[in-house]
Amino acid sequence: DSKGRLANFSAGPAMVYEEVLHKCQLDLMNFEGKGLSVMEMSHRGASFTKIIEEAEQDLRTLLRIPETYEVLFMQGGATAQFAAVPYNLGWRHDPSDVAYAPRADFLTTGSWSKKAVAEAKKVGVEANVLATGDNKSIPSDVSAFDYGDAETRAQSAYLHLCANETIQGVEFKGLGSLGSVVGKGGQLQGAPIVADMSSNFCSKPVNVEDYGVIYAGAQKNVGPAGVTIVIVRKDLLGSPKAGTPTMLDWTVMSENKSLYNTPPCFSIYVCGLVFKHLLSLGGLDKVEQINKAKCGLLYDCIKQSQGYYDCPVDPKCRSAMNVPFTIPGHEDLEKVFVQEAEAAGLINLKGHRSVGGMRASIYNAMPMQGVEKLVAFMKDFQAKH
Ligand code: PLP
């Protein structure tokens, strides 16, 4: 654009709203005329207290988070939460019984949900993989899977899923048929549902009460890297496994209002600005509308290319955030595509190294004009090659 900013399709850290960057610029030099940078303030001072409290309140408004849920600002990325989930939920029957091997259920639909399984096993949780997607689809009827009898179910500490697989571009559109087997408050016949929403957090409204826990790294939709947001139902707190590292302990974080130690102050500040911006846009219903229009444009372009471009994902679960595509039969051209796109100011379109091809990540802050520019480029590229 006129300020020299490129259309950045990075999977994360990703684009941040320009309005937010402007405000950051001012506050980095002199926060609200106080004579110091927002980066230089004590995390226990009045200014930062206001920042973190407003960030929480605005997030609660955006996602309609009920008072029965705690909002935590943590560190270590979503990867740390892969371990925090089993530590906090696996031993609720008796935290001191560290020899006990709890069982948890997993839906694996791509790379990140598989990583969550591996980490849970390290903590000592027996992983029961209920349904495996093929990286291109979501298990079409998860309610039909064998969840076992009530007694077996009672042994399951939680059910974990990844709401949007960033690498494969596979997204749950709500809980679908899983909704019919979940009871009140995100219970799947007794086990709370835990969702990794790192790459579609605040991209659309969700019913928080369908979940026991929602967690998300900020660096895709709501701010810079460094802070991970955890939304946890309060009755799930209070019984972490004995020996749980303090920094992974939701109960400690909750008792200390996310200020047990020095939090990622700057990242929390930026998230707060993003939440205010999302509210000013009209909230998450409006944000979802914009996101649907953006990804619709891209998926339509792929469809209209008559097979020149292909998206390998089942249309029913195509992500609104991460759009993977290939040039089937012409893999040599994919490298050229990425290079020529970059020269045209469309950057970071190379697909993840594990899947190849291209991937356009179009999170909240990617403007419509960025997607329009990409679509025009794709049409030109097809005509030229
Ligand atoms: N889960 C999902 C869906 C992701 O996209 C990512 C990162 O890209 C992660 C987890 C890991 O997040 P972090 O790098 O913040 O640990």
CATH number at residue 307: 3.90.1150.10
Residue 187 resides in a domain: yes
Residue 12 resides in a domain: no
Assess whether 267 and 331 both reside in one domain. Answer: no
Domain tally for the chain? 2
Q: What is the CATH number of the domain that holds 239?
A: 3.40.640.10
Residue nearest to atom 3 of ligand 1 (CA): 198
Token output for 10: 């990075």
Index of the ligand 1 atom closest to the CA of residue 76: 16
Query: Catalytic site residue 105?
Result: no
Give the number of other CB atoms < 10 A from CB of residue 245: 13
Residue 6 resides in a domain: no
Q: Which residue among 81, 112, 172, 353 is best mutated to probe the pocket of ligand 1, counting the most ligand atoms within 8 A of its Cβ?
A: 112
Q: pLDDT tens digits, residue range 123-182?
A: 999 998 887 877 787 776 566 566 666 666 667 899 999 999 999 999 988 776 566 566
Alpha-helix runs per DSSP H in 166-283: 250-255, 265-281
Assess whether 56 and 155 both reside in one domain. Answer: yes
Give the C-alpha separation, 131 to 195, whole Å: 15
Average pLDDT over residues 44-55: 98
Q: What pLDDT shows up at residue 275? A: 98
Q: What pLDDT shows up at residue 210? A: 87
Residue ending a domain, among 244, 279, 314, is: 279
Q: Quote the distance between the C-alpha of residue 247 and its chain's center.
A: 20
Lowest mean per-residue pLDDT among 154-158, 197-201, 292-296: 154-158
Query: Catalytic site residue 220?
Result: yes
Query: In terms of DSSP bridges, do strands 69-74 and 228-233 run parallel, antiparallel, or are they unpaired?
Result: antiparallel
Give the closest residue to 209 by CA, choosing from 190, 173, 230, 182: 182
Residue 14 resides in a domain: no
Give the C-alpha separation, 36 to 30, whole Å: 5
Q: Is 10 in the pocket of ligand 1 (CB under 6 A)?
A: no
Alpha-helix runs per DSSP H in the chain: 18-29, 46-63, 77-89, 111-123, 150-154, 250-255, 265-281, 284-304, 331-343, 368-384
- The chain-wide mean pLDDT, for the chain, equals 92
Assess whether 233 and 376 both reside in one domain. Answer: no
Index of the ligand 1 atom closest to the CA of residue 217: 15
Q: What pLDDT shows up at residue 131? A: 77
Q: What percent of the chain stands above pLDDT 70? A: 92
User: Is residue 184 pLDDT above 60, yes or no?
Assistant: no
Q: Is 217 in the pocket of ligand 1 (CB under 6 A)?
A: yes
Residue pointed to by tokens 């495996």:
132
pLDDT top residue among 40 and 145: 40
Give the C-alpha separation, 294 to 321, whole Å: 9
Q: What is the DSSP string of 72-124?
A: EEESSHHHHHHHHHHHHHTTTT-TT-TT---EEEEEE-SHHHHHHHHHHHHHT
Characterise 202 by phi-psi region: left (phi > 0), alpha (psi -120 to 50), beta (else): left
Assess whether 269 and 367 both reside in one domain. Answer: no
Compute, in angstroms, the gap from residue 49 CA to the centroid of ligand 1.
28
Q: What pLDDT shows up at residue 156? A: 85
Assess whether 301 and 222 both reside in one domain. Answer: no
Residue nearest to atom 13 of ligand 1 (CA): 77
Give the C-alpha separation, 69 to 224, whole Å: 24
Q: Is 12 in the pocket of ligand 1 (CB under 6 A)?
A: yes
Query: Catalytic site residue 94?
Result: no
Q: Which of 58, 91, 105, 220 is catalytic?
A: 220
Q: What pLDDT shows up at residue 355? A: 84
Residue ending a domain, among 279, 311, 338, is: 279
Compute, in angstroms, the gap from residue 127 CA to the centroid of ligand 1.
20
Number of residues in the chain: 385
Assess whether 71 and 205 both reside in one domain. Answer: yes
Compute, in angstroms, the gap from residue 79 CA to the centroid of ligand 1.
6
Q: Is 346 in the pocket of ligand 1 (CB under 6 A)?
A: no
User: Is residue 185 pLDDT above 70, yes or no?
Assistant: no
Lowest mean per-residue pLDDT among 100-104, 118-122, 287-291, 373-377: 100-104
Give the number of other CB atoms < 10 A from CB of residue 311: 20
Q: What pLDDT shows up at residue 138? A: 78
Q: Which of 112, 136, 241, 373 is catalytic?
A: 112
Q: What pLDDT shows up at residue 181? A: 61
Assess whether 212 and 328 both reside in one domain. Answer: no
Assess whether 38 and 187 both reside in one domain. Answer: yes
Q: Are 349 and 343 in contact (CB under 8 A)?
A: no
Assess whether 275 and 289 both reside in one domain. Answer: no
Distances (CA, A) of 37 to 19, 28, 75, 268, 313: 18, 5, 22, 14, 45
Q: Which of 90-99, 103-112, 185-194, 296-305 is modeled with the greatest confidence? A: 296-305
Lowest mean per-residue pLDDT among 83-87, 148-152, 223-227: 148-152
Domain range for 55 is 25-279
Q: Are 137 and 316 in contact (CB under 8 A)?
A: yes
Q: Is 229 in the pocket of ligand 1 (CB under 6 A)?
A: no
Residue nearest to atom 14 of ligand 1 (CA): 77
Q: Is 196 in the pocket of ligand 1 (CB under 6 A)?
A: yes
Assess whether 353 and 254 both reside in one domain. Answer: no
